[in-house]
Amino acid sequence: MSAASDSGSGGLLGCESCGLVSVDVTGDDPTLVQHCPRCGHVLHGTKPFAVQRTWACVLAAAVLYVPANTLPVMVTTSALQRDEHTLLGGIHELWLDGSWGLAIIVFIASIAVPVLKIGVLGLLAWTVRRKPQWRRLERARLYRLIETVGHWSMLDVYVVVLLAATVRFGPLASVSAGGGLLSFAAVVVLTLLATWSFDPRLIWRDPPVTSTRRDGRLA
């Protein structure tokens, strides 16, 4: 679909709520708001401030990813000692104990998937502005990939929360969630918000065409 079909008078707008396609009657006036005639949802050619919101969530997730891996996500307390377990430390212990399959699952859910989402979302937000025509089909497939696997990022959080809520060994020992779990959960939520904020329609939108006057200046 060309840029002329995305916005401007005579273009088409798809409703994100019910899917009805309507003719854009707002033209180039940003003050006009058009609603879906079937469900009343506000119609947009693209999500408002999609790139800015994506960058904000991606940068915040990248910052919080550091304490998520350095602070303990689970604390075990017994009568004799108190142990703190980080994500990487827990994966290492699982691997040494021979639970290789579980260690790989936790590594993918807690390390690989967040890094993949942060990197891919940053790439998508950057290429929309800097390289809009670069490998559009591949970028669209990358977005669908992270949108699909992103929901499994909460797997590690669920495991730790369930352990902290159910595993109690009487007054002598217990398991509780550590500070790193909050940071990791924030990373997961921020990457989900970044995925939701990004508009994949921007991948297919052509940059605005600028004309050159006879004196060589841009019109």
In degrees and rounded to multiples of 5, residue 205 shows phi and psi of -85, 130
Q: What is the pLDDT of residues 115-139, one digit of tens each?
A: 888 998 999 889 888 887 888 888 8
Q: Which CATH number fits domain 48-204: 1.20.120, 1.10.20, 2.40.50, 1.20.140?
A: 1.20.140
pLDDT, mean over the chain? 75
22 CB contacts (<8 Å, ≥6 apart)?
12, 13, 15, 34, 36, 37, 43
- Are 20 and 38 in contact, with CB atoms under 8 Å apart? yes
The percentage of residues in the chain with a pLDDT greater than 70, rounded to a whole number, is 69
Sequence spans of domains, the chain: 1-45, 48-204
Q: pLDDT-derived band of residue 51, with 50, 70 and 90 as boundaries?
A: confident
- Are 180 and 102 in contact, with CB atoms under 8 Å apart? no
Whole-angstrom distance, CA of residue 11 vs CA of residue 34 = 13
The angle subtended at Cα 146 by Cα 143 and Cα 151, nearest 5°, is 140
Report the predicted TM-score, pTM, of the whole model to 2 decimal places.
Answer: 0.70
The percentage of residues in the chain with a pLDDT greater than 90, rounded to a whole number, is 5
Identify the pLDDT of residue 153. 64
E-assigned strand segments in 68-117: 74-77, 82-85
